[in-house]
Structure 1
Amino acid sequence: MIAEPAAEAGHALRAPSRLHAFNRYEIKYLVDRSLVDELRAEFRHRLDVDEFAGQGGYSVWSVYYDTPHLRFYWEKIEGLRFRRKLRLRLYGDHADDDTPVFVEIKQRVNRVTQKRRVTVPYREARRLCDERQMIEYGGSGRAFLEEVLGLVGGLELRPVSMTGYRREAYIGRNADVGLRVTLDHRVRGRDRDLYLGDPHAQNRFIIPPHLAVLEVKANERVPYWLTDLTARRNLSVVRVSKYCQSIEAFGRAPRSVHHVPETLTER
């Protein structure tokens, strides 16, 4: 497999040397593509483009794990103050056995999103999460992988859905250090062939292709210029979850009040 430049850069950034942990507030909006160019220009004026994103952004694919009764899905829908989910995440389009992927636990504690993850070869990630076998890993990451193994074994977790999209990423500078803004385009998913190395698997849009998901991630506060920008464009905060969207789009659960119809009429 020949990796795309953006994928190679992403893998270089995400070296498997230590446990990565993030605590942030997250706010999401749905953006019509007629507004994307205007927002992009504003972001490029006030923020730095993620140096690993390249000119056209980069692909993100995630395999989500859940219980046979979709416990993590229902915790999200019911809005539990503490909830979590396990996923494998690839920065790039396709993986082979040696491609670095993230093993991630993303959890919500009240209003704060916490994410912990380590990078391992895809072969080892599958051995841990699918075959439920401990893998070799040094340093603080080993305790995290033991936690993952306890989750997949104790809750009988299994892969249930996959999502993918093209991401543009911007990072704050000066007074906005810690701010991260992303625009996710062409949000797709599938409920079978949940293998990151399959270039021929069939996906479908789980969010209408004329809509992008704008995510604002901040350590403490969202700057005034950004809240003013979203207000002037009449953008409303939404509770859209790509994982839940995928589960509902493929009929695994009834569509919630937060579901975005995949056939939403284009404006």
Structure 2
Amino acid sequence: MAIKSFKRYEKKFIINKEQYNNLIPRLLQYMDVDEHCKSGKNYSIYNIYYDTENSDVIRNSISKPYYKEKLRLRSYNVPSNLNDKVFLELKKKINGIVNKRRVVLTLKEAYNFLELGIKPTSNDYINKQVINEIEYYLSKKYVKPTVYIGYTRKAFFSKEDRDFRLTFDSEILTRRDNLSLESGFFGNNILEDGNHLMEVKILGAMPLWFTNILSELQIYNTNFSKYGNEYMKYSFNQQNNVTNTRGIKQIC
């Protein structure tokens, strides 16, 4: 098992195809492509988000509280067996600062922990701490696999400040059935064709050169949560289905 911990600010932008095509060449003057983008290609990220029966986690999240947290199971490949490595992550946001705690497990260890309450074993103090945090979270909330969200990503790091990172997510596919990472990459795209979700991840202020480029290309900050947008679309469709069902009953 291995652990990583991240603490940073995140800013989000929705950009169209033209803005993206104009932005990337400008970025390459100041940033390097992430090593995971082999030969310049995007890499993929797959997630299962855990929530309560009544969607309490995401409903609280979109109300923009001072403190919020989400639990998700993540992989960077579609697992082919229970020994494949996955990331179990507890993402917290406190007054705009993102703190992500995660531990690397086998898929079997993750399922045993999430479904059966069997804690993974580790001799490392920090690993134990994260596992205990997730165990406490699970004791407070009866959560279950709720939504799959997968996407492709291109990422960049600043040449001068490795803490300044940009990611561009596209083809953000979501579904509420076949809720396992092994099921593969498919679902409904919650982004318009040609659009990208750009996320700025940084510990402090954005570089001046970057803010100047954003201004020139008329790229503006927005609020966008992948799970939040999925939930709002899902809720809207559910309400429409109820309304249509009632209408049919009345006509009959």
TM-score (norm 2): 0.88
Q: How high is the sequence identity, in percent, across the aligned residues?
A: 24
Name stretches of at least 5 consecutive residues in structure 2 with no aligned partner: 240-252
Residue in 2 that maps onto 1:260: none
Within the candidate set 141, 145, 153, 2:139 is matched to: 153
Cα shift readout 1:13-42 (whole Å, capped 9, x = no counterpart): xxx33x211110100000101222221112
The CA distance in 1 between the partners of 2:71 and 2:236, in whole Å, is 18
Q: Quote how far apart the aligned CAs of 1:122 are.
A: 1.2
Find the residue that maps to 1:92 and give its secondary structure: coil
Cα shift readout 1:104-145 (whole Å, capped 9, x = no counterpart): 011111121111111111111111112222122231111211
Q: Quote how far apart the aligned CAs of 1:202 are.
A: 4.5
User: Number of paired residues?
Assistant: 237
**Larger RCO (alpha carbons 8 Å, 6+ apart):** 2
The CA distance in 1 between the partners of 2:119 and 2:65, in whole Å, is 30
Residue in 1 that maps onto 2:243: none
CA contact (8 A) 1:187 1:209 kept: no
Residue in 1 that maps onto 2:199: 215
The CA distance in 2 between the partners of 1:27 and 1:83, in whole Å, is 17
The CA distance in 2 between the partners of 1:155 and 1:246, in whole Å, is 21
CA contact (8 A) 1:59 1:93 kept: no
Change over 3 Å in CA distance of 1:163–1:152 after alignment to 2: same
The CA distance in 1 between the partners of 2:80 and 2:95, in whole Å, is 34
Find the residue that maps to 1:251 and give its secondary structure: helix
Q: Quote how far apart the aligned CAs of 1:219 are.
A: 0.8
Residue in 2 that maps onto 1:92: 77
CA contact (8 A) 2:173 2:186 kept: no
Change over 3 Å in CA distance of 1:29–1:95 after alignment to 2: farther
Q: Quote how far apart the aligned CAs of 1:95 are.
A: 4.5
Within the candidate set 152, 165, 179, 1:180 is matched to: 165
Over the aligned positions, Cα root-mean-square deviation in angstroms equals: 1.8
Find the residue that maps to 2:169 and give its secondary structure: strand
CA contact (8 A) 1:67 1:156 kept: yes
Residue in 2 that maps onto 1:8: none
Name stretches of at least 5 consecutive residues in structure 1 with no aligned partner: 1-15, 256-267
The CA distance in 2 between the partners of 1:105 and 1:141, in whole Å, is 13
Q: Quote how far apart the aligned CAs of 1:73 are.
A: 0.7
TM-score (norm 1): 0.83
Matching of residue 119 in structure 1 with residue 107 in structure 2? no
Matching of residue 231 in structure 1 with residue 215 in structure 2? yes
Cα shift readout 1:125-170 (whole Å, capped 9, x = no counterpart): 1111122221222311112112212222331011110111110010
CA contact (8 A) 1:85 1:105 kept: yes
Higher helix share: 2
Residue in 2 that maps onto 1:103: 88
Within the candidate set 50, 53, 57, 2:42 is matched to: 57
Runs of 4+ deviating beyond 6 Å? 252-255
